[in-house]
Amino acid sequence: MRKLERRYADTLQIVSVHSPKFPTERETENLRQAILRLRIEHPVLNDADFKYWQTFGARAWPTLYFIDPRGNVIGIHEGELTEDMAAPLIEGWLVEYEAEQILTRKDLGLVRETGRDSALSFPGKVAWDDASGRLVVSDSNNDRIIVADIDGNVSQVIGGSEAGFTDGSASEARFNQPQGVEVFGDYVFVADNENHALRRIDLRDGSVTTIAGTGEQARMMPSGEPATRTALSSPWDVAVHDGDLYIAMAGIHQIWRMPLGDQVGDASYIGPWGGSGREGIVDGPRMQSELAQVSGLAPGPSGLAFADSESSGVREISWDPDGRTTTFIGKTGQGGLFHFGDADGGRSVAKLQHPLDVARVGDELYVADTFNHKIKQVFPLTENVNTLVGERGAALGSFSELQLDEPGGLTNGPGRSLLVADTNNHRIVHLDLESRQGREIVLKFP
């Protein structure tokens, strides 16, 4: 949509009608935060009661309605629509309405709200490397990657100043809403979400190289082209296991794999490893199973655990050659995409709401229960869930007092600890599992 509204800035007015799936999305303040996080530049209506959804007869998210200057619906499209698909339609209509002299170029005089001034802006993910003591933060809305230590002393800033898709030195490189980060030796792999690309940072000099993706969103399955000529779709997280890079390909409901090779990321192959591409929550052989907007990855001894956000589930694909997908938390089969809530307990009663990340601390598995503003512990063997910390707010201190606001990133920290990208609070929180205390890691720039 952003490309279309900029291309036709004086003739096309986009209005988003937000008809929420999740309870948290019904609250206007949460919607406001999402508008700021997504940098939406047009009016958004909160259709919390589905009044406009029903009036227009919508059946799917998203549904696009094209309305002419007279107020008549002249086109409907269900699903995502690329600029290349929409432009010929729009240009044809513009020619017609210009000829009829009913097209207006009047400025509506709308003023976009800007976010608050803070060191971080909606940080999406966080990574920790024990060997080097490096903390890596995906400062998503500032379009940059920050490298620091556990005390917040910043040593490197890569990218920033504006969104873009440029390789080069730390100051020259540009990202667009980066999400998942993974430290691997002297490198950081980045899921560059809005660029639909994977980037590699060389920490020795801060340089950035694109290792997969074309900058355009994929609309079909890969055709065997080299990784840098293969289009990706909204990569949301990355994880390294046994010489391979795994990618949460949220836009097409799959997990992809890319062998790192001797050159650490200069691979000729990238492609699906788990998920059929059909959105759902169906277990079974990994390539036949159905996933739903995979958003966070956590490798472990038995398999790759993942946060399946649209099914509000925590699931795992086993490492064995005939790998299978298993659901720990969530309802498989029909109705599973609408099984969500906030409840601890066994699988029959436990509910999450749009989790965006998972992390392992030893044999323990944790989940960022994003729309419930909580971190929860998952027990795969017993399929139980217990709340560790959280309710909506910004308080720090003991686990019983600590508050979060839509945490989107979670990883293991030094010792027995967790690091949280507390996205809507614009901060990184360190959770000490021994002392059961939480503190903000305040970044200190040189």
Distance of CA 257 to the CA centre of its chain: 18
Residue 124 in this model has a pLDDT that exceeds 80: yes
pLDDT-based confidence at 109, cuts 50/70/90? confident
Residue 421 in this model has a pLDDT that exceeds 70: yes
Domains of the chain: 2-99 (3.40.30.10), 122-274 (2.120.10.30), 285-446 (2.120.10.30)
Q: Provide the percentage of residues in the chain whose pLDDT is more than 70.
A: 98
Give the mean pLDDT of 270-298.
97
Helix or strand run (H / E) with residue 33: helix 28-38
Whose tokens are 């686990």? That residue is 399
Give the mean pLDDT of 337-346.
96
Q: Provide the percentage of residues in the chain whose pLDDT is more than 90.
A: 81
pLDDT of residue 266: 64
pLDDT of residue 81: 82
pLDDT of residue 220: 74
Note the pLDDT tens digit of each residue in 196-223.
999 999 999 999 999 999 999 997 777 7
Note the pLDDT tens digit of each residue in 52-64.
999 999 988 899 9
pLDDT-based confidence at 121, cuts 50/70/90? very high
Say which residues have a Cβ less than 8 Å from residue 353's Cβ, sequence separation at least 6: 22, 23, 24, 312, 340, 341, 342, 369, 370, 371, 372
pLDDT-based confidence at 5, cuts 50/70/90? confident
**Separation between Cα atoms, residue 236 and residue 247, nearest integer Å:** 7
Residue 225 in this model has a pLDDT that exceeds 90: no
Q: DSSP letter at 399?
A: T
> How many CB atoms are located within 10 Å of the residue 399 CB?
17
DSSP bridge pairs for 368:
357, 375
pLDDT of residue 3: 86
pLDDT of residue 263: 64
Token pair of 143, please?
Answer: 């379009």
Note the pLDDT tens digit of each residue in 239-277.
999 999 999 999 999 999 999 976 665 667 899 999 999
- Which candidate, 285, 331, 325, places its Cα nearest to that of 305? 325
Backbone φ and ψ for 55, nearest 5 degrees, come out as -60, -40
- Which candidate, 398, 397, 407, 372, places its Cα nearest to that of 387? 372
Note the pLDDT tens digit of each residue in 83-103.
888 999 999 999 999 999 998
Helix or strand run (H / E) with residue 221: none
Q: Is the dihedral of CA 149, 153, 156, 162 positive or negative?
A: positive
Q: What is the mean pLDDT of the chain?
A: 94
- Per DSSP (E only), the strands in 185-287 are 187-192, 197-202, 207-212, 235-241, 244-249, 254-259, 271-274, 284-285
Give the mean pLDDT of 305-327.
97
Residue 238 in this model has a pLDDT that exceeds 80: yes
Residue 116 in this model has a pLDDT that exceeds 70: no
**Separation between Cα atoms, residue 365 and residue 313, nearest integer Å:** 13
Give the mean pLDDT of 233-244.
97
**Separation between Cα atoms, residue 126 and residue 389, nearest integer Å:** 18
Give the mean pLDDT of 393-416.
98
pLDDT of residue 95: 93
> How many CB atoms are located within 10 Å of the residue 43 CB?
14
Distance of CA 224 to the CA centre of its chain: 26
DSSP per residue over 151-181, as a string?
Answer: T-BEEEEEE-SS---B-BSTTT-B-SSEEEE
Note the pLDDT tens digit of each residue in 30-39.
899 999 998 8
Distance of CA 386 to the CA centre of its chain: 24
SS3 322: coil
